[in-house]
Structure 1
Amino acid sequence: MASADSGVCEEVVVIQVSDAGSPSKKKYPRSLSRSDQPVVINVRTKQSAFRLAVPCMPMPLAIVCCLLNIVGPGLGTFISAFTVFCCGYTETTPYKAFLWNVLAAFFQIITFPVVVGWIWSILWGMTFVTLSADYAHEKELHNKRSEMKENLK
């Protein structure tokens, strides 16, 4: 599945498992029986440099940056660039993330008059909140798993 506005392209590796349990490399017919359903083995998400630079921040800061991006396109993105050095983390180095975020803020401000920058800025702000929520959810799941392992001992 690909999304043009987020720079995400997913690559799915699919194999077909026969009734005997061995993988086969034949073409899939239009109607598959239940035992011939394809099995997803690996999903790899490729993201753009801009998307890799979006910092995952604490939820209150992500919401503030999102609101700033709605009110003043690029403002929240510019502030988020500085969070990579103190309270946010990215999937790339802090210096690269800082530069990409400053560049994104600049482009959002420049393209604001033609509405593209404002929409991009809003989407960027929503990404701040989404990343923060995903991180909080994964952290909660990790804590629950740790507690369950401790209880089993």
Structure 2
Amino acid sequence: TLLSAVAALCGCRTEHPSRWTAVGYALLASLLQAITAPFVVGWVWSIMWGIAFVNVALNKDHQEVMHM
């Protein structure tokens, strides 16, 4: 997204009437992406840990049943 702001600044054709409007929107979008990226990574990380804990619990329960 940041690269698209540079491309718009260098003269790439955009759908906006002003080049600076396109650059502003692209910079805003890239800033928002940078801010929200840690939340998405944390969300995915917590899902992976949840799946791992469920798998460990299921395997432990299965092993206890097999030893009886």
Match of residue 18 from structure 2: none
**Which residue identity does 1:130 align to in structure 2?**
W
- Give the corresponding residue for 1:139: 52
Q: Which runs of 5+ in 1 are unaligned?
A: 1-106
Q: Structure 1 residues 118 and 127 mapped into 2: Cα distance closer, same or farther (>3 Å)?
A: same
Residue 108 (structure 1) shift: 4.0
Q: Which has the higher contact order (CA 8 A, sep 6+)?
A: 2
1:121 partnered with 2:34: yes
TM-score for the superposition, normalised by structure 1: 0.27
Give the paired residue count: 47
**CA radius of gyration, larger in:** 2
Query: Over aligned residues, Cα RMSD in angstroms?
Result: 2.3
Residue segments in structure 2 that go unaligned for 5+ positions in a row: 6-22
Distance in 2 (alpha carbons) for counterparts of 1:140 and 1:131 = 14
Alpha-carbon spacing, 1:120–1:127, altered in 2? closer, same or farther (3 Å) = same
Residue equivalent to 2:64: 151
TM-score (norm 2): 0.54
